[in-house]
């Protein structure tokens, strides 16, 4: 049994940071969006369900419009 990970997008961020979005399809049938943040050697991964990913995406767009 192997979960399937598909890269969606990669971003070069300020201060030599990186972000990636991946789709993760688990063997159980569950699918999530994985946000991976890289800061030097530090890596943070957050798995988001559909509702959480949508809310986060909308909040990012709204925040970017206010900058």
Average pLDDT across the chain, whole number: 96
pLDDT for res 1: 62
Strand partners, 19: 11, 37
pLDDT for res 47: 97
pLDDT in tens, 29-56: 999 999 999 999 999 999 999 999 999 9
pLDDT for res 48: 98
- As a whole number of angstroms, the distance between CA 65 and CA 53 comes to 19
pLDDT for res 51: 97
Give the alpha-carbon dihedral of 6, 21, 51, 59, to 10 degrees. -160
First to last CA, the chain: 45
2 band by pLDDT with thresholds 50, 70 and 90? confident
């Amino acid at each position: 049994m192997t979960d399937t990970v598909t890269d969606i997008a990669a971003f070069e961020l300020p201060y030599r940071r990186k972000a990636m979005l991946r789709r993760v399809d688990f063997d159980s049938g569950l699918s999530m969006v994985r946000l991976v943040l890289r800061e030097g050697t530090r890596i943070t991964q957050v798995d988001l369900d559909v509702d959480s990913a949508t809310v986060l995406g909308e909040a990012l767009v709204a925040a970017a419009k206010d900058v």
